[in-house]
Structure 1
């Protein structure tokens, strides 16, 4: 009997993982076809890594929406840490530091928007409110990046370009999945 337990339980988890992987691949394929801002490989890699780290096995698209919003929140929290660290950097000029302070505020607002999106999505199944709040979070990363470009004569470059792009992409995943759910109803 013990022998069967050692075989059946791992096979069960393996099949759950396979189903989750298939859901991620199918959903990312459909989402990337419908949104030119979403990279298929980025979508699959991000969600697969998140599923492995959290040991969650999403069974439906709604699970992927939650997982992608949680992943985005985690990424945003990390970006806030990066910004806080960069503000201590003595090599940045005053303009860059002012932009970083603005970005810090934007990312704090963004995390609040994501919290609101998660409540709307999970509590009341309000796809419109969830969509609006995820869109606001996405816009915050764009605004953060754009402000570094406002001072072209100084040729200022954003120290957050890569982080802003990843955050943007993660928000696009959530938006795409919310849109896919909306189309099904």
Structure 2
């Protein structure tokens, strides 16, 4: 008899998306002084991370700051560039997670149900990589609404994967990977939402 990981339908996970940045309210007021072309890059990183962390219960300020500052190009970029960097980091995270999943699938200590869930995670992240590449293309061409939709969609890979792996009281072997991936996407989404509002003003 086949063992199937019955991961909840994405609609049951929508509550997590209420934790994601809203493109409305006070975000523009908090970051309005940041010029998208000429402002000091270090200030852009710090203010972006401060604002995004304040508006989300998911994003850690220290994680945001550390992640963006370690990339040399982030010190000579604008907000669109920072969003792209966050998405590139998420892409790297996803590819590394795929490698981890492949390794876990060969681990004999997992029961058939856990292996089925890991197989689902592999598929979710593989699809997510393709979607992220498309989202980066949309960002670079100024299609912020499209980028928003695709980044939001790809975040389901992490939430759905984690939900499946923790079913029946199991401990997920990918909690850190899923959480970091979600944060990186949320940082990108935070910036994209502001860029979208800025482009429409």
Taking the aligned partners of 1:71 and 1:58, their CA distance within structure 2 comes to 17
TM-score normalized with structure 2 length: 0.76
Q: Which residue of 2 aligns with 1:126?
A: 143
Taking the aligned partners of 1:27 and 1:156, their CA distance within structure 2 comes to 36
Instruction: Report the 3-state secondary structure (helix = DSSP H, G, I; strand = E; otherwise coil) of the residue aligned with 2:178.
Output: helix
Unpaired runs of 5+ residues, structure 1, are 1-17
TM-score normalized with structure 1 length: 0.82
Residues paired across the two proteins, number: 161
> Counterparts in 2 of 1:17-166, with a 5 A limit?
19-49=40-70, 51-52=71-72, 55-123=73-141, 125-150=142-167, 152=168, 155-166=169-180
Report how far residue 135 of structure 1 moved: 0.7
Taking the aligned partners of 1:95 and 1:157, their CA distance within structure 2 comes to 13
Taking the aligned partners of 2:53 and 2:66, their CA distance within structure 1 comes to 13
Matched-pair contact (CA < 8 Å) for 1:72–1:170: yes
Instruction: Report the 3-state secondary structure (helix = DSSP H, G, I; strand = E; otherwise coil) of the residue aligned with 1:120.
Output: helix
Q: Which residue of 1 aligns with 2:26?
A: none
Q: Kindly report the root-mean-square deviation, in angstroms, between the aligned alpha carbons of the 2 structures.
A: 1.5
Instruction: Report the 3-state secondary structure (helix = DSSP H, G, I; strand = E; otherwise coil) of the residue aligned with 1:90.
Output: coil
Larger RCO (alpha carbons 8 Å, 6+ apart): 2
Q: Which residue of 2 aligns with 1:172?
A: 186
Structure number with the higher helix fraction is 1
Q: Larger Cα Rg: Structure 1 or Structure 2?
A: 1
Report how far residue 56 of structure 1 moved: 4.9
Q: Which residue of 2 aligns with 1:181?
A: 195
Provide closer, same or farther for how the CA distance between residues 183 and 33 of structure 1 changes in structure 2, counting only shifts above 3 A. Answer: farther
Unpaired runs of 5+ residues, structure 2, are 1-38
